Amino acid sequence: MLWLTLLLLDVSTQIASKDVEERLAAIALVEKDGHETAEALLLAALGDDDWEVIHRAAVVLGKRGSPTAVGALVQLALKGPVRRIRQAAAVSAGQLDGEAATEYFVRRARGKTAAVAADALTLVTHDAARKALEALLKNRDGSVRAQAVRALGNLKNKDLVPLFTKLLSDNDVRVRAAAVSALGASGSVRAVAPLIEGMKDPAISNVMERRHIATIVALLAAQTDKKLQTRGAETALYTFGSKGQDRFARLYARLGRQGIGPVDKYLEVLARGCSNADLAVRRASVWAIGAMGNDKGYERVSDAAKGDSEHNVRFHGMRAAVALRGAKAAPLITDRIRYDEHWVVREEACVIAGQQKLKDAGPFLVDRLKDESWEVALAAAISLGKLRDDGAVDALAALLGEKDWRRRGAGVAGLGWSRQMRAVPVLIAALRDKEPAVVATAAEFLRHISGKDFPTKHKAWREWWKTAGENFMFRDPKKEAENAKKYGYAVNPKDVYTDLDVVVLQTRRGGDNIQFLLKDYGIEYREVRAASVAKIGLHPHALFVANCPGEINKKDVERIQWFVRAGGSLFASCWSLTHTVHKCFPGIVRHYKTKAQVLDVVEAEPVPSTSPLIQGVFDGVTRPHYMLEGSHLIEMLDPERFEILIDSPECATRWGEGNLAGWFTIGHGVILDSANHFDLQGMVRAKLKSERDRMAFAVDHLGYDYKELRELRAQGVFRKQPDAIKNTRDLSTFRFITTFVRQKRKTDAE
């Protein structure tokens, strides 16, 4: 047994090593094999200088410790430097002695420690805590009340449903959101009715509607008794007719998609909704039928796509039809390309034809190259190119003789997508165009199809074609797609931006500066001033960032409109929602009007969503703080088109709405808007007195992990506030942007 003695001695020595990695390895060994003095070693490690060591020791104590360690773990859960350590300690304390841990936290659930004790109780709640938690519901601080509600929800006590129902009317949205979560945690089908009743409130915010719907669906999906499930779902079947019923359409879409309850009845109600006098109800009903994925609703959405008086409903009718039948909806799409009276519908029909590879739409797309609306002509040209029809090359080439640069650019973009030999000399000729956007588009497509990176000069490409033209082979589209996907799946955030043309709109003093973030990550970018966008040559493969305030002139507007519709990506921050997004693309989203200027710091949350655009952005523990500097919060004019990805119950409490970030598509392109300043997402507005406070802020609110924290600490970054501000960034914000770019690249590669 000498080897065991040596092993025990080794662990005791190793856990006291000056090397952090050795101390972590020792804790891992204790976790795996145990140790005769495991508890003593781990308790000592709770006082370590390194936070990762403390965290791991707290976790392993829950497995290798005894109830005598609960006191130390409780103290760590209340006073630990960062939330993830406090939570790990609370969980371990509960594992060792849940009742004792609960009693400790209950005693501290008052005064200055009320919030942190309530947070701990959400993880170790014991029935003994119920009385104390209910007492916390009288606390003046909404965040404390919300934590208490979450902790009560973790009791999973169906008898608490009436209490949670009452809290749906609390004056703090954080508490109402927690009450919704608690009703969901109850698992009781009785919780469905009050959630549905709450959706009838005309004043319900977007923040709460999303949570009500997600929780109703989750509760009903969890019911094993199908009769109970159906009965609960039927509670949601109200007759359409009053304003606000559009939110029930969005609920039916989620229920029907998962086959919960009477799907045929949902379809009947939604079919009636498609004829409702209220535009919002008709639009939501049409969208919901498509989102349900039930082919029985196809004729209804097809009728709406062709016959509704509002172009916005016809637009969603087409999208719903394609959601139900894909390329089999071709007759409807070609019909709208040919006959719809509104250019917005014709544009979207042309886009869909390219997305769905509708070969039969080719002749009608050719006709639309002459459409009175340049937006339609552009959408048609690009879709023609994506159909790879050699017969369309002449029609696309003819656009290069147009007076309007936007139509010439449409021809170039279409030819670039076509991958036809005859298109290459035309693209090279376009390099002599007087419009920078046309030249840049031609050059970028030539670069993509050839793999060459010559200067944007006609002569260089012409000489290349003289020698390469006879035996020219386009780059293998499969390999090109694989290459694009490589960047789409890149692990290193910097690599996601490889080979992308990132263009940043400069800001006036006091505005946003995302370029600071890009520079930190070594991401190459170009800068442009307002009124100079026309000169820089925006092209469909570019990424344009509109820093707040995003003030642009008329010529800038034309270039941004064309660039996005041609397939570009636009990011906008704060006031750019108004001065760039709404100015260029009105009618979809706008500034939510508040009584006073929004100057605040609020906690941001991912919305209840399965969207890939939010995956990997939030880790479940970090609580990003959104810095709102006169922020333009988001009001959705078309909630079926604009998807919110990040919101804030705290913001909704103070300002009436809490929509913080979302996205939509337009033409062949995509737009992302965020209410915050990218460059203020850090310690700029935080009042932090010590090195420890600044380190904790970096972990709790900026998303830094322990390894990154060690490296920055070794550099002395946290010793002074100015250094911490300069050398740290909100990683959650950057992850959000990067996830968006990554997903766009994967989509483009398909």
Q: Which H or E element spans position 528?
A: strand 526-528
**Is the pLDDT higher at 744 or at 738?**
738
How much is the average pLDDT of 138-161? 92
Model pLDDT, residue 644: 95
Higher pLDDT, 469 or 1: 469
- pLDDT in the model for residue 63: 93
Residue 123 has pLDDT above 60, yes or no: yes
CB-based contact 445:427 (threshold 8 Å)? yes
How far, CA to CA in Å, does 105 sit from each of 39, 57, 127, 163, 178? Answer: 22, 20, 13, 22, 20
Name the residue among 411, 413, 392 with its Cα closest to residue 400. Answer: 411
pLDDT digits (tens, 9 = 90+) for 621-655: 778 888 888 899 999 999 999 999 999 999 999 99
In the beta sheet, which residues pair with residue 501?
542
CA angle, corner 190, sides to 185 and 193, nearest 5? 105
Pairing of the two strands 526-528 and 501-505: parallel
pTM confidence score: 0.89
Nearest-angstrom CA–CA distance, 501 and 567: 13
CA dihedral sign of residues 483, 486, 487, 492: negative
pLDDT number for residue 455:
80
Query: Helix 83-107 vs helix 114-124: angle between axes, to the nearest 10 degrees?
Result: 100
Q: Give me the CATH topology for the region 493-681+729-749.
A: Rossmann fold (3.40.50)
In whole angstroms, give the CA distance from residue 446 to residue 441. 9
Total Cβ atoms within 10 A of residue 234: 12
Q: Is the dihedral angle over the CA atoms 58, 62, 65, 68 positive or is it negative?
A: positive
Residue 236, pLDDT > 90, answer: no
Interatomic CA distance for residues 431 and 412, integer angstroms: 10
CATH topology of domain 2-137: Leucine-rich Repeat Variant (1.25.10)
Q: Please, which pLDDT band fits residue 414 given cuts at 50, 70 and 90? A: very high
Rounded distance, CA 66 to CA 643, Å? 49
Helix axes 192-199, 226-234, angle to 10 degrees: 20
CA dist 28 and 42 (Å) reads 11
- 1 pLDDT band, cuts 50/70/90, is very low
* Domain 2-137 identical in fold to domain 493-681+729-749: no
Q: Is the peptide bond before 549 cis (omega within 30 degrees of 0)?
A: yes
The angle subtended at Cα 180 by Cα 612 and Cα 259, nearest 5°, is 55
In whole angstroms, what is the distance from residue 599 CA to residue 587 CA?
A: 26
Residue 28's pLDDT band, with cuts at 50, 70 and 90, is: very high
User: Under a CB-based contact definition with an 8 Å cutoff, are residues 673 and 663 in contact?
Assistant: yes
Dist CA 383 CA 361 (whole Å): 9
**Sequence-ordered alpha helix ranges (H) in 621-690:** 649-655
pLDDT band per the 50, 70, 90 thresholds, residue 6: very low
Return the pLDDT at 510: 63
Does residue 239 carry a pLDDT above 60? no
Q: What is the mean pLDDT of residues 567-586?
A: 94
Contact assessment for residue 557 and residue 532, using Cβ atoms and an 8 Å cutoff: no
Three-class DSSP category at 572: strand
Strands (E), 112-193: none
Q: Could you tell me which residues come within 8 angstroms of residue 139 by beta carbon, excluding any fewer than 6 positions away?
A: 114, 145, 148
Q: Considering the domain 344-475 in this protein, what is its CATH number?
A: 1.25.10.10
Write the pLDDT tens digit of every residue in 725-736: 888 887 677 778
Q: What is the pLDDT of residue 242?
A: 58
Choose among 544, 534, 531, 439: nearest CA to 501. 544
Phi, psi of 519, rounded to the nearest 5 degrees: -65, -40
pLDDT value of position 112: 86
Contacts of range 68-72, beta carbons closer than 8 Å, 24 or more positions apart: 68/39, 69/39, 69/42, 69/43, 69/93, 69/96, 70/96, 70/97, 70/100, 70/101, 70/104, 71/104, 72/43, 72/46
- What's residue 712's pLDDT? 94
| Angle at 348 (CA atoms; ends 344, 349), nearest 5 degrees | 115
**Would you state the pLDDT for residue 2?**
34
The pLDDT tens digits of the residues spanning 437-495 come to: 999 999 999 988 888 888 888 888 998 899 888 778 876 655 555 554 444 333 456 77
Give the contacts of 58 (CB within 8 A, at least 6 positions apart). Answer: 46, 73, 76, 80, 85, 88, 89, 92
Residue 717 banded pLDDT, cuts 50, 70, 90: very high
Q: Is residue 681 pLDDT above 80, yes or no? A: no
| pLDDT tens for each residue of 34-70 | 877 889 999 999 999 999 999 999 999 999 999 999 9
Taking residues 715-731, report their average pLDDT. 89
pLDDT at residue 14, as a whole number: 86
How many Å apart are CA 132 and CA 309, to the nearest integer?
58
Residue from 460, 458, 456 nearest 501 by CA: 456
Check: CB of residue 208 under 8 Å from CB of residue 198: yes
- Cα 529 to chain centroid distance, Å, stands at 28
Distance CA 191, CA 182 (A): 9
Predicted pLDDT of residue 477: 58
With contact defined as beta carbons under 8 Å apart, do 638 and 589 qualify?
Answer: yes
- pLDDT tens digit string along 84-105? 999 999 999 999 999 999 999 9
Helix (H) or strand (E) holding 480: helix 477-488
Cβ 39 vs Cβ 64: under 8 Å: yes
Cα separation of 605 and 4, whole Å? 49
Burial (CB count <10 Å: 0-12, 13-18, 19+), residue 334: buried
Which range among 221-225, 263-267, 728-732 shows the weakest confidence by mean pLDDT?
728-732
First to last CA, the chain: 61
- Domain positions in the chain are 2-137, 344-475, 493-681+729-749
pLDDT confidence of residue 488: 38
Closest CA to 204 of 212, 194, 214: 212
Q: Count of CB atoms within 10 A of residue 247's CB? A: 20
CA distance 429 to 419: 16
